[in-house]
Structure 1
Amino acid sequence: MSPRLSTVILPVDRWHEGGRAKWRRAEELGFHTAYTYDHLTWRSFREGPWFGALPALTAAATATDRLRLGTLVTSPNFRHPVTLAKELISLDDISGGRITLGVGAGGNGFDATALGQEAWTPRERADRFAEFVPLLDRLLTEDAVTHRGTHYSADEARNIPGCVQRPRLPFAVAATGPRGLRLAARHGQAWVTTGDPKLYEEGTPEQSIEALRGQIGKLDKACTEIGRDVAEMDKILLTGFTPERSGLLESVDAFVDFAGRHQEIGFTEIVLHWPIPDSDFAADQSVFESIAAEAAAQLG
């Protein structure tokens, strides 16, 4: 089976000046899922327009009928499990059960300090993530939750009627370290990676494939430790952060070659950024749409 093809639509357009049209076009092109980043702003886009992920997804849910929607990814940097669960249940209801939550530990970018706090260390992020995900799991599956944790608390938090998707909407857990991979194995319906960041600037495609193969092997080990078959999990590659990023969208053939090599090592979903002119994600829109229309048949 060929890997599913999905896209990321960054929330940089006003809804009535191109935003709505992109989400509708993603559905027309047959993408499996259209995700968006859940940040307050991001890197080179900091001085320009950037809208909230969950309102954007809510609008997208009302503008589409079949397309799955999701975050890639939400993190504890500025989210609390109690309020996030309520918003996700609402979004899952509005979309008719088409929501996937991509969730990760977060990083040290603008989100990390926007609420006035000092940026957390990698250990602090991992500690919070380890509490955030299991609590969110409970909040999305139980009618009422009370929790007293190190970082998060809930006091009889009510989440009736729960998700349309049962027992809850799926989690796609972004992780590469041992603690995160254990969380993915225990709570994830899917696992997400962007590759090995150490290879971003000077690595080769061959080194990247081997690094990704190693990540999947570690995920397999984490699943085996809890008696789970890693084959049950979708494996999602968010592109744009591996050594071959510059040529990925040059042609349908270039993408098919890339996707085929990653399919061989176990990836079940490949995610492309919707082109944005004059940015890190600039690409020929016509080639992008040709990939959406033609690549799956060639990979099948």
Structure 2
Amino acid sequence: MKLFIMKTISNTLFLLTLLFFTFSCDSTDENGSTNNEQLAYYEELNIAYGTDSNQVFDLYLPANRTEDTKVMLLIHGGGWTSGDKEDMNEFKNYILQNIPDIAVVNINYRLADENTPAYPMQINDITTVINYLKNRQSEYVISDDLGFVGASAGAHLSMLWSYAFDTDQQTKMVCSIVGPTNFTDPAYLNSTDPILEAILNTYGLDTSTAFLEGVSPYHQVTASAPPTILFYGGQDPLIPTTQGTSLRDKLEDLGVIHDFTLYENEGHGWTGLNLLDTTFKLHAFIEAHLN
């Protein structure tokens, strides 16, 4: 699966920066404090959370943060076999510029190959990062409240972790941009498209229903799931439309707060006015549920 295309959106995000300028938060706290002990902005790149070269993340901590400062995790795509945290830099930059009171964690994770399955390795990496942050809450001055923005395979991982592995219910919102949700979808299982078949093959030799349901956010979501915002393209060659609509319907049935947008004429990523629409909706969702 190709990575959700990020590198073509710089100009659009520049315009969004101007449009959202009025949303930006003042550097003082809500009580108007100008305490000289307020913390400065801090960033640290390639923090190791394991021994593999891909087990690193970038950390961006806002100025004037407190123990109530929320944390947004960015999870890149790449079909579970490729991609890099740099692919999420446009999202990172947008949040830092326009929702500046949120901490940002942009992570790399170990990549799957023919000898190393994606699951549970990549879910374990996300858990390790979150435990790393939790153990350093006092040092970083952050809360344990989390949000996720994931693209493509990263969206799948974001939803799966939030729905099935967040035992402490830290996740306050999750965003899927063209993320797979259900590996038992007939659109996958009955397809002869080699690209779609490769998506399932990435998850290893176990094609049992139990396994496929275990790695599908659609089958793991419950009524206690966090608010979820979904974006899909109606002409996506990699992600059938039912991956989005079926999860939307299940979230509705479960009473989970959600928002769903299908861009009928878009594929596995988009630019221009539809990207502008995505950014407006995601910004508002973050403000409502994480900020």
Same fold by TM-score greater than 0.5: no
TM-score by length of structure 1 reads 0.41
TM-score by length of structure 2 reads 0.41
Bigger proportion of residues as helix: 1
